[in-house]
């Protein structure tokens, strides 16, 4: 299955008409958790030249959401865990909708600099490409 054909294989992603619906979807966040840890592990493996499996923590993901300017879209009392969930939901939606490929995500994650900034850059790129209000 080519990455560009994902909407056809996962029609449930067509149901989202608002960004807040994506950010608050618990099922998307659950799938996104596996996805973000997978692409992060791929990035670490690429840099190390050997297989590495790691998980990202909620603090890193919630900081990336804030730096991308997306935190303000969530209810005021949203805790760090739910902010991390929103990051995971948007990341997987970006891939499923064809807005960003795994290769591009890994490429951005492996750039020099701060990991939070790199994740923030991915989130901003997804937002630019999905064009959902």
The full set of domain ranges for the chain reads 16-130
Q: Summarize the confidence of residues 78-87 as an average pLDDT.
A: 96
For 58-74, letters b (16+ CB in 10 Å) and e give bebbbbbbebbebbeeb
Helix spans in 49-79 (H): 58-67
Region 73-79: what's the mean pLDDT? 92
Report which of residues 118 and 132 the model is more confident about. 118
Prediction pTM value: 0.90
Torsional sign, CA 19, 99, 10, 93? negative
State the Cα–Cα distance between residues 76 and 94, nearest whole angstrom.
24
Q: What is the pLDDT, as a whole number, of residue 127?
A: 95
Q: Is the predicted pLDDT of residue 1 greater than 70, yes or no?
A: no
pLDDT value at position 87? 98
For residue 49, pLDDT beyond 80: yes
Q: What CATH architecture applies to the domain 16-130? A: Orthogonal Bundle (1.10)
Dist. CA 45–CA 12, nearest whole Å: 31
Question: Which whole number is the average pLDDT over 43-70?
Answer: 97
Confidence of residue 37 (pLDDT cuts 50, 70, 90): very high
């Amino acid at each position: 299955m080519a990455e560009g054909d994902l909407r056809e294989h996962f029609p449930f992603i067509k149901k989202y008409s608002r960004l807040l619906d994506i950010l608050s979807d618990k099922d998307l966040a659950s799938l996104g958790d596996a996805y973000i840890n997978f692409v992060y592990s791929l990035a670490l493996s690429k840099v190390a030249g050997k297989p590495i499996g790691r998980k990202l923590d909620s603090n890193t993901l919630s900081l990336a959401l804030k730096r991308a300017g997306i935190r303000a879209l969530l209810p005021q009392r949203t805790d760090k865990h739910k902010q991390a969930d929103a990051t995971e939901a948007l990341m997987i939606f970006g891939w499923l909708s064809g807005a960003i490929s795994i290769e591009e995500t890994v490429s951005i994650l492996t750039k020099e600099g701060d990991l939070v900034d790199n994740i923030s850059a991915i989130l901003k790129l997804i937002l630019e490409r999905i064009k959902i209000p």
